[in-house]
Copies of this chain bind each other. A is one copy, B any other.
Amino acid sequence: MGRGATGVDRLSFARLANLPVTSSNLDIVAIGDAIVDVIATTDDAFVDERGLPRGGMQLLTASQADELYAAMGPAREISGGSAANSMAGAAALGLEVAFVGQVADDQLGDIFAHDMVSLGVRFETPPLPAPPPTGRCLILVTPDAQRTMNTCPGASHELTPAALDAELIRSASVTFLEGYLWGPECPRAAMLEAARIARSAGRTVAFTLSESLCIGDRRDGVRGMVEAGTVDILFGNEDEVRHLTGCGDLADCIAQLSQHVATLVITRGASGAVAFENGERVDIAAPRVERIVDTTGAGDLFAAGFLAGRCRGRPLKSCLETGALAAAEIISHFGARPETDLKELAGL
């Protein structure tokens, strides 16, 4: 897991010199849920009758997940997890990336690890002995291409700060943190520790909101972190930023959040996206998608594209456009992992 003598020496020297470390080996390191998606199509009645959170996410216990799985139709399994999808996308866009997340030592854990590593994502978090097993997300896709996610987090929520490799975090330009993992105590502590390490090394911290932050008092912790200036780049959709700020109007959300984050990126589904940075607001339209099949991963791939543009020095508008392009690819097929050559698509 170490970065080797050369990396350590260089970083030690930088610390001794009391200078921010400016060189980096990695573009992004992400911390998030390590999850395999179990994707089935279904009709509206199935979602409605069971009171599933249409278009949203709910957490399930193991027995609830077994019950729902038994009731749902035949499925395909594709590695998932929000920040993990973003890293799969970023790697496909040609970035050097790493992922930190917890799987169990089981078949789904092997699948998750394979899919990361085979994309060139560094993934070195050692698996834990099961139980709990590797997390899975039962995703029901309705005829409107909307996904309803039912997550059984399993090993994913067993991530602790001990799983962090401080050298890895220091070596990455961006540390990217996932809102879905904010709820459980140990992973939250791991993310806060990662943010601390990244900031002390002069790196950028990015955070992506998620609807799971609407549960209980999780919002306050994220607000506190944002207001403390820990987050440099904040990603969210309209609902998420409204919930976080308590503001109904998008302009008010932007006004409030941009006091605390250098770069605010808000996705707006079919209405495109908006970013606010250095007092400048940039809006883009969504690219046309011939046939939307499954919206799973749209936000994750948007973040991947945006960060890829940023890491390659593209201007703000181009970062948004790269994000929108990656999101458009992902919603044109089932699953939240890219199926076409994103690098070529984005001209990166």
Contacts and interface: CB of A to CB of B under 8 A. Distances in A.
A119 B73 contact: yes
A124 interface: no
A253 interface: no
17 contacts: A38-B111, A70-B117, A72-B118, A74-B88, A74-B114, A74-B115, A74-B337, A75-B114, A75-B115, A75-B118, A76-B77, A76-B78, A77-B77, A77-B78, A77-B111, A107-B108, A107-B133
Interface in A61-79: 69-70, 72-79
A128 to B, nearest CB: 15
Contacts of A111: 38, 75, 77
Contacts of A81: none
A160 interface: no
| Chain B CB within 10 Å, residue with most, of A73, A77, A118, A337 | A77
Interface string A12-47: 000000000000000000000000001001000000
Size range of the interface on A?
20 to 34
A204 to B, nearest CB: 27
Interface string A38-61: 100100000000000000000000
B74 A119 contact: yes
A107 B135 CA distance: 12
Contact of A74 (B74, B79, B107): B79
A193 interface: no
A157 to B, nearest CB: 18
Interface in A113-144: 114-115, 117-119, 133-134
A232 interface: no
Q: In the assembly, how many copies of this chain are there?
A: 2
Nearest to A115: B74
Given A77-B111, A79-B74, A114-B69, A41 B119 contact: no
A133 to B, nearest CB: 7
Nearest 3 pairs of A and B residues by beta carbon: A77-B77, A74-B115, A107-B107
Given A70-B117, A76-B335, A77-B111, 17 more contacts: A38-B111, A41-B339, A69-B114, A70-B118, A74-B79, A74-B88, A74-B115, A74-B118, A74-B119, A75-B115, A76-B76, A76-B77, A77-B77, A77-B78, A107-B107, A107-B108, A107-B134
A293 to B, nearest CB: 10
A335 B334 CA distance: 12
Contacts of A118: 70, 72-75
| Chain B CB within 10 Å, residue with most, of A73, A76, A335 | A76
A165 interface: no
Nearest to A107: B107
A76 B76 CA distance: 7
A70 B114 contact: yes
Nearest to A134: B107
A302 to B, nearest CB: 20
Contacts of A69: 114
A106 interface: yes
Contacts of A41: 339
Contacts of A73: 118-119
Contacts of A74: 79, 88, 114-115, 118-119, 337
A117 B69 CA distance: 11
